[in-house]
Structure 1
């Protein structure tokens, strides 16, 4: 397992990632806004509640909140939510979505590798499609462990995004997904992104070439987490039909880990 003991991706990658998501903020917010008023919202909330600590009101940290889907949803459910992102454009969208749904969320601009919080603060950490584009993922897992309360849990939803750049079988699956989306007349989610820019970034990110969630399990154990639960079919419950076609070769997984 590479980069388990020390992450050494160039710091300049953080700026490249931030710039990319700044450009994506507005259209990504439209997707999140649609999710918040769709049937998917209830499915996501049910899944998070299934694995969260059994507390009626939790202190929740949403890491890499983007336009605030998790933050708004969990605030609506009555929890005390703090949400961080390093991209100001994303935070602006998230604040707008929270205001639209009339919920209170503490939005914080921060690098998710070095959080501005005291130790043992949060009952639950949630994150979606974030760890794959971190420059120092092991450092991030260590930092998130620090701010979790004893008995607190981390729920990470992610996938082997851009493994196709390093693995021929994954590449063929990716191309089949694009062809199937066209054949079925569905929106190709990759067609709406700057694939050249993102692939250039992904080639330098440490997790693009790793087999996940196997890498995550080893990293989490090394950081001190325990009671690790994997769900490699969670996308079948949470994705809609269009997502299922677009990402058939890159299934979403969930990792639940306890401090």
Structure 2
């Protein structure tokens, strides 16, 4: 992050990494939805903070294969899904066609969307903020794209913070000689860790740090919601035991912030 060249380098790596994940992305619990209980949990969370869509314009940033885009579409938003990975967008378009969902997809950078100013009622993203090279610039961009009174809903977590379950997984791996259960190959996991070590939130990402940057970008009425146990329990039931246990104890959160009228 110390120079323009390093910015381009890490951005390219992030895009290439997720492009390679695209083909199998929906096979992982925590990415695609594998139970009606989880689907209802997400919809409850969306309605709690954003209300029903009623045709309002929503921009789903780093939409990937469009899991959140579909949830937003299901509750009545007019959704645009944006991602800079053509492979992810290919999966997203195929899924939307199969489901008959009227979702617009565009190629773009979540830190510089190129979308019109003051044009969206809501912005959503999941597991995006930790990958941002320049969150202050990204949050300023999101602020400008939202209509006055519009809201951003960030779904993320402090995944850089090691839990006691992760420690238990490492101990189990040393004792058994077997790697911990993962949805990534060891090589992909190493690339993931390398990317994590070079982004803005390279160590930990507590909700308070995100709130601070949102405040500096001009957002108000910022709410941190940690009551996600219904979603996490539904996910954990579909995971191997230790991964499921880790999901239940991780510091995950939703953050909703408003652009002033």
TM-score with structure 1 length normalisation? 0.84
* Equivalent pair of 1:177/1:248 in contact (CA under 8 Å): no
Aligned equivalents of 1:177, 1:49: Cα separation in 2: 35
**Which ranges of structure 1 fall in alignment gaps of 5 or more residues?**
165-169
In the alignment, does 2:215 pair up with 1:221? yes
Residue of 194, 200, 209 corresponding to 1:200 = 194
Aligned equivalents of 1:123, 1:151: Cα separation in 2: 8
Matched residue, 2:115: 117
* Equivalent pair of 1:228/1:255 in contact (CA under 8 Å): yes
In the alignment, does 2:16 pair up with 1:23? no
1:196 alignment partner, SS class: helix
CA deviation vs aligned residue, 1:63-86 (integer Å, no higher than 9, x gap) = 110000011222233321001001
Alpha-carbon shift at residue 160 of structure 1 (Å):
1.7
In the alignment, does 2:71 pair up with 1:73? yes
Alignment of 1:109-148 (within 5 A): 109-148=107-146
Aligned equivalents of 1:199, 1:244: Cα separation in 2: 21
When residues 225 and 237 of structure 1 are mapped into structure 2, their CA distance, relative to the original with a 3 A threshold, is: same
* Equivalent pair of 2:163/2:246 in contact (CA under 8 Å): no
Which structure 1 residue ranges, 4+ long, deviate > 4 Å from structure 2?
6-9, 177-183, 190-193
CA deviation vs aligned residue, 1:24-83 (integer Å, no higher than 9, x gap) = 101113348851763311210111011005662211110110000011222233321001
CA deviation vs aligned residue, 1:131-151 (integer Å, no higher than 9, x gap) = 111111111111011111111
> Could you say what the CA RMSD is over the residues aligned between the two structures, in angstroms?
2.8
* Equivalent pair of 1:53/1:152 in contact (CA under 8 Å): no
When residues 145 and 34 of structure 1 are mapped into structure 2, their CA distance, relative to the original with a 3 A threshold, is: closer
Aligned equivalents of 2:141, 2:3: Cα separation in 1: 13
* Equivalent pair of 2:56/2:77 in contact (CA under 8 Å): yes
Residue of 1, 8, 19 corresponding to 1:11 = 8
Alpha-carbon shift at residue 258 of structure 1 (Å):
0.5
Alpha-carbon shift at residue 216 of structure 1 (Å):
0.5
When residues 74 and 55 of structure 1 are mapped into structure 2, their CA distance, relative to the original with a 3 A threshold, is: closer
Alpha-carbon shift at residue 232 of structure 1 (Å):
2.6
TM-score with structure 2 length normalisation? 0.83
**Which ranges of structure 2 fall in alignment gaps of 5 or more residues?**
none
Between 123-132 and 30-39, the greater mean CA deviation after superposition: 30-39
* Equivalent pair of 1:29/1:93 in contact (CA under 8 Å): no
Matched residue, 2:166: 174
Aligned equivalents of 2:151, 2:3: Cα separation in 1: 23
Between the two proteins, the alignment pairs up a number of residues equal to: 245
* Equivalent pair of 1:45/1:73 in contact (CA under 8 Å): yes
CA deviation vs aligned residue, 1:113-166 (integer Å, no higher than 9, x gap) = 1112111111111111111111111111110111111111111010123x25xx
Aligned equivalents of 2:42, 2:172: Cα separation in 1: 26
